[in-house]
Copies of this chain bind each other. A is one copy, B any other.
Amino acid sequence: MPYVNIKITREGATKAQKAQLISGVTELLQKTLNKNPATTVVVIDEVDTDNWGIGGEVVTELRKR
């Protein structure tokens, strides 16, 4: 029944990589807390680098350095 939200910058994650994140985190919750995988929900948000900031700076600018 856990709900997991993974936010990453939109920088080309493939379908296969996203599938790995989903299966990996579902498995981790089963292994660690015995959570039922059947009702574990994972949502991945890919966020434009213009909309993500760290250290007070926009990631789009950080990527140019």
Contact = CB atoms under 8 A, between A and B. Distances in A.
A40 B40 CA distance: 11
A50 B14 CA distance: 9
A3 to B, nearest CB: 4
Interface residues of A, number: 50
Contact of A4 (B7, B23, B58, B61): B7
Interface string A23-65: 1111111001101011111111111001111111111110000
B3 A58 contact: no
Nearest to A3: B7
Kindly list the 5 A-B residue pairs having the minimum CB-CB distance in the complex, ordered from nearest. Answer: A22-B53, A26-B56, A42-B53, A44-B51, A3-B7
